[in-house]
Structure 1
């Protein structure tokens, strides 16, 4: 049986959501962050080579990386509604957004967040210089690329209710965490109203609400 090793306030909320959507039996083990560093505890980091969330175990398998885990779980179930098959009209759109979730959107948001931490935690004497450098990076790299992703997403969601088309898929789960963080920061409401409405629809899903209940601590933080 697949067991989710769930780190509080982390990207593993995606996997908990997926498991609740499938409605099949799974194991669950909760891990708290260190209250001082807010990092994962040592016993969590020891679960996989990367030491990052999420992680699942299944017999002798220990697997990290959100999208790898999603595919692995879907491979183990007969429920395939969440993944358009080869030849399906929605397949290409599904593949694009499923991989853009981690390959583009999450990585860009994480890079921007790390840059802000670098400015915030740098020595006061050089903070102004570092702030200018990081501001330039945001202006010429992070900002334009994030805008390109969000513009396409807004356009797609203005024409159909889900990322891959007319049906809910694992692409919506993969993108969910990062979009919810953007909504919490207020990054969507003004410029991307269709995306903001989409996030609100996802948050209303019974499986998402069940995942929040099982987690019991989720408030949303970058991880």
Structure 2
């Protein structure tokens, strides 16, 4: 049986949601962050070489990190699940694109954007004007256009699809939830009604609500 080692307020929530949607048996071990540093405890970091969330272990001795690798591993045990459209399915292309674009393009850009803000806000006062100008230039020329392009495409795709890859929930939605919720918290979805509709659908999904209950959080908000 799979054990999900769940770090509070982390990307491992996606695996918790996936397991609840599948109705799969699993054991849940919750780890709290250090109250001062907000970092994962040493016991969690020791689970895998990466020391990051999510991590699952299995009775066969497997230890696996990286969200989409974990999702694929779990779905391999549920070959008939509609959460991963089969080759030839009309939603397969959208599924593949967003399943990988979320962690390969969208999340890195969001993280980089947050890093630029941190560099600007925390730089020494003497060099802050120079650092601020440099980070603003990078954001304007590189980060903002890239994020706009990705969220423009998401808005267009959600205009023709109820969910990200068609009319029903897939693992692409589960994989993307972290990035979309982060964008919503930053106000990036205020002029994107289809993305806002998706957020409401997510919150109303019974498996999502069960995952929230087990996680113990009151709101689903992330930021970079």
**1:67 and 1:222 mapped to 2: Cα distance?**
20
- Which range moves more in the overlay, 122-131 or 167-176? 122-131
**1:139 and 1:169 mapped to 2: Cα distance?**
33
Q: TM-score scaled to structure 2, two decimals?
A: 0.95
* Alignment partner, residue 112 of structure 2: 111
**2:29 and 2:121 mapped to 1: Cα distance?**
34
* Alignment partner, residue 128 of structure 1: 129
Deviations 1:44-71 (A, max 9, x none): 1111111111111113111111111100
Where does structure 1 differ by over 4 angstroms across 4 or more consecutive aligned residues? none
Give the Å deviation of 1:79. 4.2
**2:218 and 2:29 mapped to 1: Cα distance?**
15
Residue-pair matches, total: 222
Higher relative contact order (CA 8 A, sep 6+): 1
- Which range moves more in the overlay, 159-168 or 16-25? 159-168
Give the Å deviation of 1:218. 5.9
Deviations 1:78-137 (A, max 9, x none): 442100111112111110010011011111111111221122222222222111111111
Q: Residues 47 and 2 of structure 1: is their aligned pair in 2 closer, same or farther, counting only changes over 3 Å?
A: same
* Alignment partner, residue 183 of structure 1: 184
Q: TM-score scaled to structure 1, two decimals?
A: 0.95
| CA RMSD across the alignment | 1.3
**1:13 and 1:68 mapped to 2: Cα distance?**
15
**2:55 and 2:27 mapped to 1: Cα distance?**
12
Assess if the C-alpha contact under 8 Å between 1:10 and 1:222 holds in 2.
Answer: no
Q: Which runs of 5+ in 1 are unaligned?
A: none
**2:12 and 2:200 mapped to 1: Cα distance?**
20
* Alignment partner, residue 12 of structure 2: 12
